[in-house]
Amino acid sequence: MDSELNKKIELSIKILKNSKNIVALTGAGISTESGIPDFRSPGTGLWTKNDPMKYASIDAFLENPASYWERAIDPSGLGNKILDSEPSKSHLALAELEKIGLLKSVITQNIDNLHQKAGNTDVIELHGTIFTAHCMNCKTRYKRRHVLEWVKEGELPPLCKKDGCEGILKSDTILFGESLPQDALSRAIKISRNCDCMIVLGSSLVVTPAAHLPILAVKNGAELIIINIQKTPKDHLARIVINQKIGKVIPKIIDKLKD
Ligand SMILES: [Zn+2]
């Protein structure tokens, strides 16, 4: 490993050790290591191949909810891949960072539940989660796995099971054209303002509001560490920028930190 990278790793460890209130901000890059494709990577990204407005917009869903749920039961589809995916060593490293008392919260742009599977207990999901669905009428929440069973039995679109409701069920993932969950957003803003160190992992920091959160953190005096395979528009705000695969860096940092 080159010495410049080693220096950055050593400095990151020092900063993390001296922090009392660390927040992680994560994006698709941390989940590619769990086999989930990066939605926005140039060339390989999902939305460069498929028209998002056709497959993942709220208008398309409302026009034909049955079609969304029909695709959802495709065993080789992305949804089922995500449901079955396992945390990467980077997810596990963040869970360790919480266990040793340094990491307070994870703010994520991912919908895959992998931080929770790894063991993090305070995860703020800016773009919702694929693991649950809700009734568009009465807001009752259902596990996606249950909804998929109903769809497999031919219920298209799947409907709310509350007496007399029969509202259409919609995944808790945020579709294009939908507003973000306000509770998650306001907590993310508050936490970003209050942290003394923010570590960004695998986010290209181009999608708002995630792209604004590091600005809030730095304005309030927090240290900023960015680990992402590509450069980001917020690199100039960071104390340390490491353009590497996260899996090659963060598990090493956490291992050394524990020594
Ligand atoms: Zn309902």
The CATH number that applies at residue 259 is 3.40.50.1220
- SS3 category, 68: helix
Helices 246-258, 89-99: crossing angle, 10 deg rounding: 30
DSSP calls for 180-229:
PPHHHHHHHHHHHHH-SEEEEES--S-STTGGGHHHHHHHTT-EEEEE-S
253: CB partners within 8 A, 6+ apart: 9, 12, 13, 16, 93
With 0-12 / 13-18 / 19 or more C-beta atoms within 10 angstroms meaning exposed / middle / buried, residue 183 is exposed
pLDDT beyond 60 at 40: no
Q: Ligand 1 centre and the CA of 166: distance in Å?
A: 6
pLDDT beyond 80 at 197: yes
Domain boundary, last residue among 140, 173, 206:
173
16 and 75 belong to one structural domain = no
> In the structure, what pLDDT confidence band is assigned to residue 54 with cuts at 50, 70 and 90?
low
Cβ < 5 A residues, ion ligand 1: 135, 137-138, 140, 160, 162, 165, 167
Catalytic residues: 127
Whole-number Å distance between alpha carbons of 213 and 107: 10
133 and 224 belong to one structural domain = no
pLDDT beyond 60 at 252: yes
Complex-level ipTM: 0.99
Q: Ligand 1 centre and the CA of 168: distance in Å?
A: 8
17 and 141 belong to one structural domain = no
Two tokens at 90? 């980077």
149: CB partners within 8 A, 6+ apart: none
79 and 91 belong to one structural domain = no
Share above pLDDT 70 across residues of the chain, in percent, rounded to a whole number: 93
Q: What is the pLDDT of residue 53?
A: 54
Q: Mean pLDDT across the chain, nearest whole number?
A: 91
197 and 119 belong to one structural domain = yes
Q: What is the pLDDT of residue 45?
A: 46
246 and 205 belong to one structural domain = yes
122 and 134 belong to one structural domain = no
pLDDT beyond 70 at 191: yes
Domain boundary, last residue among 141, 173, 205:
173
Number of domains comprising the chain:
2
On whether the CB atoms of residues 22 and 253 are closer than 8 A, the answer is no
Q: Ligand 1 centre and the CA of 140: distance in Å?
A: 6
pLDDT beyond 80 at 49: no
Domain boundary, last residue among 173, 208, 240:
173
Mean pLDDT of 239-246: 96
> Where is average pLDDT lowest: 66-70, 72-76, 135-139, 203-207?
72-76
136 and 233 belong to one structural domain = no
65 and 122 belong to one structural domain = no
* Amino acid at position 105, single letter: S
DSSP calls for 152-175:
HTT-SS-B--STTT-PBEEEEEPP
Q: Ligand 1 centre and the CA of 134: distance in Å?
A: 8
CATH code of residue 69: 3.30.1600.10
54 and 135 belong to one structural domain = yes
Q: Ligand 1 centre and the CA of 133: distance in Å?
A: 11
> Where is average pLDDT lowest: 15-29, 171-185, 224-238?
171-185
Q: Ligand 1 centre and the CA of 171: distance in Å?
A: 14
pLDDT tens by residue, 58-110:
998 999 999 999 989 988 888 888 999 999 999 999 999 999 999 999 999 99
Q: What is the pLDDT of residue 44?
A: 44
Q: Ligand 1 centre and the CA of 161: distance in Å?
A: 7
97 and 204 belong to one structural domain = yes
Residue 66 structural domain: 38-84+129-173
4 and 115 belong to one structural domain = yes
